[in-house]
Amino acid sequence: MVLSPYLLSPLLLILSNIFMTFAWYAHLRDMAAKPWYLAAFLSWGIALCEYLLQVPANRIGFSVMSVAQLKIIQEVISLSVFVPFAIFYMNQPFKWDFVWAGLCMVGAVYFMFRG
């Protein structure tokens, strides 16, 4: 079964963003007492997994979407992954600002994909 680029690209971007979010922020909780350069090396290793998914995702998506459309999809996915990560992994409180930011992203998606 071959997935459509409209489905495969976002699926790969979701997985990529999970890795990205952990690479960028998990060290703040898990390695706070370690030197920054150890956190950076670990983050680079995690980021490699991100890039191994993100690069094919964008190449696949670019076959049917513009680069601007790919970017806004990535931003929506990034926020969609980040909010649960912040709340459940980093133990940050829920803020209504997450909802308002998400609604702004819906508007951005509309403008990138209209006509």
89 to 48, 71, 93, 97: CA distances (angstroms): 21, 25, 11, 18
Nearest Cα to Cα of residue 72 among 102, 52, 115, 97:
102
Give the pLDDT band of residue 115 (cuts 50, 70, 90): confident
Give the predicted TM-score (pTM) of the model.
Answer: 0.90
pLDDT the model gives residue 1:
81
DSSP for 56-74 reads HHHHHHHTTS-HHHHHHHH
pLDDT the model gives residue 76:
95
- The identity of residue 91, as a single letter, is N
- Which is it for the CA torsion 89, 94, 98, 99, positive or negative? positive
- How many Cβ atoms sit within 10 Å of the Cβ of residue 11? 14
